[in-house]
Amino acid sequence: MHDDGPTGRERDQVTIKDLSAELDLSITTISRALNGYSDVSAKTRERVQQAARDMGYTPNRNAQRLVTQKSHSIGWIKGDGSQHFVDPHFVEVFAGVLREVKNYDYDVVFASGDEKEIIPLYERYVKDQSVDGFILELPQPNDARIDYLLDADIPFVVHGREARSDKYAWVDIDNFGLFETLTTVLIGAGHKHIAFINGDEHYSFAVERRRGAQAALEKMNLAPDSLTIYNAVHPMVHAGFQLTQKALEDPTITAIIYSSAVMAVEGQAAIEGSSRTIGEDLEIATMDDELRHVDVSHLEDKISFVRAPLNDSGHALVRQLMQRIQNKGAPSGELIPGRIKLRPNLPAHLVPDCFEVEQAK
């Protein structure tokens, strides 16, 4: 029966005071030398930097945060009940964000909460000084989070758009443009009956994609019923297979557009089980989400792709948010540029200039 001994894990950090003692300089000078101020001589600065390295000095972030009144962190808070949580797109954007924040020496603090807790969480993290600003995603019409953040004048950036997106900074991929272009190209190649296998239109990005495809019809003077829409409903594993089977029951269909690479890969199995052959009597085009667990390389030569790298979205989100945090200029939106890769015989001249286009020969 004895008392808790020492834990043995007291790491004693080397502080600016240790450097000061070691070098016989004031802590002011140490601080200013390390932070690149001009009122310290080159020789002294060199000495300080050397000693800092030698002694393994790392400034205490919490002291910095306290005195500068900046957390050097951004917050990302998700509703924990949401289906969205597991969306693989999220992970890709997340990866892009994590990579980009390092360029600003920022950290990311992540939290989840019940739908009703979200706004109090935003409030707390800011009052806390845990966080300088927020990333949010999947904005909904009249999103209460956006109401709050705008009203409280807290820096934030949104992945996606809704009605008042001119009021805040956002980043989005050009869902409308991507699918308008893809559809236009297929129509330009002579297809008059096209299937569009889309995601769940509960999500606004799916709605945008469908609208883009339909806009192409109008532009190319085709009747609305030239495009048949098939919507996957969440949860949607294997929807691509089933919807493709359904689409192929219509013999007039000569082309299929997929809204995601997963569905395209699944669809391929259904096509192989049918009498059709990709690239011969069936033209396939798809959005390639570039998710790491979906390999489309075996299809590269047989089908066409539009792409809009989600990692770039993550990078852009961070850049936009940093502008907001530093209060630079008016909030602006950023559309991630798309790329398109076309099969040989498709009409590349129909692709607008804002796209980077590549064509296999």
Partner DNA sequence: TTCTTTTTCCAAAACGTTTTGGTAGATTAT
Partner DNA sequence: ATAATCTACCAAAACGTTTTGGAAAAAGAA
Site residues (CB under 7 A) for DNA?
13, 15-17, 24-29, 31-32, 34-35, 39-44, 57-60, 63-64, 66-69
What are the residues whose beta carbons fall under 8 Å from the beta carbon of 297, sequence distance 6 or more?
A: none
Q: Per DSSP, which regions of the chain are E strands?
A: 73-79, 107-113, 133-137, 156-159, 169-173, 194-198, 227-231, 255-258, 283-288, 304-307, 333-336, 339-342, 356-359
- Would you count residue 54 as binding a second copy (CB under 8 A)? no
- Would you count residue 8 as binding a second copy (CB under 8 A)? yes
Cβ proximity to a second copy, 5 vs 141, nearer residue = 5
Site string for a second copy, 220-249 (x = CB under 8 A): --------------xxxxx--xx-------
Q: Please give the C-alpha separations between residue 170 and each of 163, 164, 174, 321, 335, in angstroms, as whole numbers.
A: 12, 11, 12, 9, 9
Q: In angstroms, rounded to a whole number, what is the distance separating the alpha carbons of residues 236 and 238?
A: 6
- Would you count residue 95 as binding a second copy (CB under 8 A)? yes
- Kindly report the length of the chain: 361
User: Cβ of residue 144: shortest distance to DNA, in angstroms?
Assistant: 27
Q: Please give the C-alpha separations between residue 68 and each of 61, 63, 99, 132, 334, in angstroms, as whole numbers.
A: 10, 8, 24, 12, 30
Sites for a second copy among residues 262-301 (CB under 8 A): 262, 265-266, 268-269, 273, 291-295
**Which one of 85-93, 156-164, 212-220, 251-259 is the stretch in contact with a second copy (CB under 8 A)?**
85-93
Closest CA to 135 of 81, 73, 92: 73
Closest CA to 303 of 274, 344, 339: 344
202 binds, among a second copy, DNA, none (CB under 5 to 8 A by kind): none
Name which position in 27, 45, 119, 130 contacts a second copy (CB under 8 A). 130
- Would you count residue 73 as binding a second copy (CB under 8 A)? yes
Given the rule CB under 8 A, which residues bind a second copy?
A: 7-9, 11, 13, 56, 58-63, 65-66, 71, 73, 78, 80, 83, 85-88, 90-92, 95, 98-99, 101-102, 107-113, 124, 126-130, 153, 155, 234-238, 241-242, 262, 265-266, 268-269, 273, 291-295, 327
